[in-house]
Structure 1
Amino acid sequence: MKKICGLLLSLLVLVSCGNNSKISEELKKSILENEDFAFVKKKALEVVKTGFNAGDGYGEVWIRDYNTFIELSAEVYPKEELKENLRVFFRLQGDDGNIIDGFIPKEKAVDVEGGYTYIYNDLEPTYCGHKNTVETDHEASLVQAVYKYVQKTGDKNFLKEKIGDKTVADRMEWAMEFLLNHRWSKEHGMIWGATTSDWGDVQHCHPWGVYITEDTKYCVDIYDNAMFLIAIDNLLELDPSKEGKWRLVRNDLAKNTMKYLWDNENKKFIPHVYLDGSPFPESFNENEIFYHGGTAVAIEAGLLNKDQIKVSLNKMIANVKASGAGSIGLTMYPPYPEGSFENKGMYPYGYQNGGDWTWFGARMIQQLVKYGFVKEAFEQLQPMTNRVVVNDGFYEWYTQKNEPTGSGTFRGSAGVLYKAIEMLEEEVEK
């Protein structure tokens, strides 16, 4: 009897493997022979060859952007050039360890009333920087970028290089400590920022919205804390000697993030938990909003299990259908109502208030591949690659009608899309 059961089990396994093999071969063929994917990868390499600023609409090199295309830049630039950009961020590091948002050549830094306040440092002769103070992802982005640089080039000696009186490794930890010392909510055991939309860098108050003001409303959110978690993981992998302190911080932060921000009943992240009251009227239920970008980064940080990831993906797909948007790069759904943000570009489905950004959508694709949702990744990636082909470029974001807008050479989109395709191809080639 045992022999018969064993034979039946073997037959079932063979049948199952045969079916999976057939599906895998079809999927493999579709992915590896996809002409849009080949076009997008070629175009991405062309775009990234042309510089390090965010895109043709920007003069600065921003760390939150550079972090998302440094790996692609490593395909076309010598490591010394990649490393020099990282050095500039460290040379302009603040006295408290904070990291600037972006840098620009000094001769191009124009002082305009109400514009950027430029930051200078004797360590940096060529560039000056500026910091968008409503955001809390600059420090985490730089640590992640250094990690990607080291992983891509194998240049671990960079961590020992001295900039001023500190090594790169020490400066990385100093940047992380800035968040603990100056952006930490003791009540929640999480880092705080200003009230922005999902991963956005425009707060609810002020016509521009990039600097903390007396009207700022502080909160903890999923994007900033997930970025910090990823940075801690990167730091520990680069320097295991830091396990003691940072492992404890990481574990507590992950636990607190899920405790305060995960809505288990609705299977989604709460947009904001406020430290000093919400800026929005009581009649507005902010928790109806589902944040696509922050959820994708939370998955990258390892906060959600496979079941939760699948539920999140299904919600994203439903949101795309309900909104009429082009892809799961949709920032959020529903968007904040008209007038929620003083910045005129933050109208419903505008810019970071419901605009469709491949820059984050493709990060969700990467995580789908990582967690084994290959078929779903392939399906949801195609709208993003198709519009690159149709519009012959990597646009910053897309409208509710899937029309391209913003910078037409947005390198962050090129970087994350290239990586998503590469991960998908590598997965099916296994």
Structure 2
Amino acid sequence: MLTLPIGAIGATADEAGFDVGCPRPANPQPTAWRVEGDSELNAMRATVAQTLSAVETRALGLSGDVQGFRAGLDYGLIYARDSSTIAPAAQLLYGAPFLTRAVEEFLHAQFDGLPDDPEDTFWSTAAQPGAVSGVIGAADLSMVKTLVTSDEEPSVVHMAYVAFKAGAGPRWLLGDQAGKPRLQRLNEAMDWLFVNRLDPSLGLIKRGHTTDWGDVEVGSGLASGPATPEPKEWTASIYDQAWSFRALVELAEMNVAGDRPDLAEKQLARARGLRQASAERLWQPTRGYYRTHLHIPPVRHAFEEDQIVSIANAVAVYTGLADPSEHGPIFRALEEARLVAGAAKPGLSLAPPYPQGFFDYPQMTPGRYQNGGVWDWWGGIQISAEFWNGQASLARAHLDMVASDWARAPGEVFEWQEPRSRRNAGSRAYAGAASTMTEAIVAGLFGVELWSDGFAASPRLGPQSGGLRVYQPSTGCWLDYWHTYAGDRIALEWDTNHPLTGRVRVLLPERTSLSGGLLDRRPAPLSIEQLGEDRYAVLTVPAQAGKHRLELQLTTLPPT
């Protein structure tokens, strides 16, 4: 593989067919952010750029040149799961090839199970029709499935969804990949999952006996990831239900865009089934969080496995699987687990950890790696889930913890960290962590979405001033705003070249109420939305493109 500078790879966005009508700027400014008085948060932008630049790659694949990202400096391949968590940030920092080419390669190499199928000959692990490889980019072009996990097909679906929403559109979905439309291959990938990994008695997706999301199986010794054989024991984890649920909902939307309403309903029915089975079999109402997994068949341990609080609870909120009534208890359970474990930031993989010797893998001692280590990769997902679901104060506190921790080693993003010692470990330049933190800042703290069908700005800065510019290289679309807090008022000034309208809502600072507002110096149509513990002033008319100013008048509430 060859590492190249940022933005130096592949065709232009226009050549790739990404065109949603945004006038392309002559001198585009890259995505960046600034919060007044918060140098540590502001410094995260340079760290993200340095991290992704260190691991962006170009490789020869079965479908041609492939652009993507290695998981970290210690990893030589492009992983499906990692790439799915990188994609939301990559679409704000990189051009179209970084959104589409890895998806196309995964689908091009999809196992078809046909006699003399040329791509099937590159598979080095056993597979069934519809399966996708867990990795691409090997020098010998070999395809390897991580048999102990069940998240590779849903990960590729999510990668495709990000590209679709970022401007690739139905034309790309219906384009040919190794003799079939890409959309058909995505549906066949989820068919593989439900044929080969759905336990009919539970109605849940199964995997090997790992933690919730990990790839280290109990009893596999030094083997992990693609080296792990077919599972010896099966479990149904909340992580896989959440990861698959999101993929099904997204695939349904893509099927509608591809004029396949029948397949859309098929995937939505599957999603409803997973949600119901998860609520019935994995949710623990007396504890207020999901159990890590169920064993198939049931297994009795010498310890209470259901007391483990796993980070997949945050994933369940992030993906939309969890019911809104479960959000508050989940966030409280995750925070309590973090404090008990002595972790300095969110992203604790699980707590309490599995006991010494339970995993016969050297790194899986209690409090390390996937058995109680702290991962910014999942911490970013937790923070986004908190911002999006009514816990902005908690999310901001968690984001500040990460910013402070990154400041200890400027320019570095590590794979994981020991909770009490705060010793960083694993690969440097861990791309998934840099990307999920970027999403937590851009889509979480600043609340910006920039898609082919419109834009959204939901500033969650509260009693702070700050702003950002979001630029989508694949389409040339951009949006910038500045949020000014002045005690008795907030001003939001935005500008965008997006051809469609958007949505604007502003988080009200704690202990304030809205007394009025102006939009471009005229009375603004506003409503109040309560979401969890957060209150928003919502602009009730579509936000227009171009330059606009929304001013909110605030009243301070008396102490309660």
Q: What residue in structure 2 maps to residue 114 of structure 1? A: none
2:175 is aligned with 1:158: no
2:67 is aligned with 1:65: no
2:69 is aligned with 1:48: no
Q: What residue in structure 2 maps to residue 14 of structure 1? A: none
CA distance in 2 between counterparts of 1:382 and 1:290 reads 23
CA distance in 2 between counterparts of 1:192 and 1:225 reads 9
Shift of 1:212: 5.8
Q: What residue in structure 2 maps to residue 291 of structure 1? A: 310
Q: Which moved more, 1:225-234 or 1:205-214?
A: 205-214
| 8 Å Cα contact 1:144-1:234 kept in structure 2 | yes
Equivalent position amino acid for 2:416 in 1: W
2:38 is aligned with 1:37: no
CA distance in 1 between counterparts of 2:415 and 2:276 reads 34
> Which whole-Å deviations, capped at 9, do the CAs of 1:174-219 have from their partners, x for residues lacking one?
0000011111111011111011112111111111144565771101
Equivalent position amino acid for 1:89 in 2: F
Q: 1:100 aligns with which of 110, 125, 133?
A: 133
Q: 1:370 aligns with which of 379, 384, 388?
A: 388
1:7-406 matched pairs, under 5 angstroms: 33-50=37-54, 51=56, 52-95=69-112, 96-107=129-140, 127-207=141-221, 208-210=223-225, 213=229, 216-240=232-256, 241=261, 242-278=263-299, 282-292=301-311, 294-392=312-410, 393-400=412-419, 401-406=421-426
CA distance in 2 between counterparts of 1:43 and 1:155 reads 31
CA distance in 1 between counterparts of 2:159 and 2:303 reads 38
Shift of 1:337: 0.2
> Which whole-Å deviations, capped at 9, do the CAs of 1:66-118 have from their partners, x for residues lacking one?
111123223343212431221111122123111111122325xxxxxxxxxxx
Equivalent position amino acid for 1:45 in 2: A
Equivalent position amino acid for 1:104 in 2: G
CA distance in 2 between counterparts of 1:250 and 1:142 reads 17
Q: Secondary structure at the match of 2:446?
A: helix
Shift of 1:224: 0.6
Q: What residue in structure 1 maps to residue 531 of structure 2? A: none
CA distance in 2 between counterparts of 1:362 and 1:162 reads 35
Shift of 1:165: 1.7
> Which whole-Å deviations, capped at 9, do the CAs of 1:310-363 have from their partners, x for residues lacking one?
222122221122111122211011000011111111110111000000101110
CA distance in 2 between counterparts of 1:87 and 1:215 reads 28
| 8 Å Cα contact 2:347-2:379 kept in structure 1 | yes
Say which structure is richer in strand: 2
| 8 Å Cα contact 1:218-1:275 kept in structure 2 | yes
Shift of 1:153: 3.3
Say which structure is richer in helix: 1
| 8 Å Cα contact 1:191-1:220 kept in structure 2 | yes
Q: Secondary structure at the match of 1:220?
A: strand
Equivalences, count: 380
Q: Normalising by the residue count of structure 1, what TM-score does the alignment of the two structures yield?
A: 0.84
| 8 Å Cα contact 2:210-2:216 kept in structure 1 | yes
CA distance in 1 between counterparts of 2:36 and 2:328 reads 24
| 8 Å Cα contact 1:71-1:149 kept in structure 2 | no
Structure 1: stretches of 5+ with no match in the other structure? 1-29, 108-126
Q: 1:282 to 1:65 in 2, by over 3 A?
A: closer
Q: What residue in structure 1 maps to residue 440 of structure 2? A: 420
Q: State percent identity of aligned pairs.
A: 24
Equivalent position amino acid for 1:283 in 2: A
Query: How large is the Cα RMSD of the aligned pairs?
Result: 1.9
Q: Secondary structure at the match of 1:236?
A: helix
Shift of 1:59: 0.2
> Which whole-Å deviations, capped at 9, do the CAs of 1:373-421 have from their partners, x for residues lacking one?
1111101111112222211211100112222111110000000001101
Equivalent position amino acid for 1:34 in 2: D
| 8 Å Cα contact 1:271-1:287 kept in structure 2 | yes
Q: What residue in structure 2 maps to residue 21 of structure 1? A: none
Equivalent position amino acid for 1:378 in 2: R
Shift of 1:244: 2.3
Structure 2: stretches of 5+ with no match in the other structure? 1-33, 57-68, 113-128, 448-458, 461-482, 484-505, 507-560
| 8 Å Cα contact 1:92-1:128 kept in structure 2 | no
Q: 1:215 to 1:255 in 2, by over 3 A?
A: closer
| 8 Å Cα contact 1:258-1:303 kept in structure 2 | no
**Which runs of structure 1 show a deviation greater than 6 angstroms over 4 or more consecutive aligned residues?**
none
Q: Secondary structure at the match of 2:136?
A: strand
Q: 1:81 to 1:303 in 2, by over 3 A?
A: closer
The structure with higher relative contact order (CA 8 Å, sep 6+) is: 1
CA distance in 1 between counterparts of 2:212 and 2:231 reads 19
Shift of 1:227: 0.4
| 8 Å Cα contact 2:338-2:348 kept in structure 1 | yes
| 8 Å Cα contact 1:349-1:399 kept in structure 2 | yes
CA distance in 2 between counterparts of 1:391 and 1:175 reads 40
CA distance in 2 between counterparts of 1:204 and 1:326 reads 28
Equivalent position amino acid for 1:380 in 2: H
CA distance in 2 between counterparts of 1:41 and 1:185 reads 43
Q: 1:309 to 1:31 in 2, by over 3 A?
A: farther
Equivalent position amino acid for 1:102 in 2: V
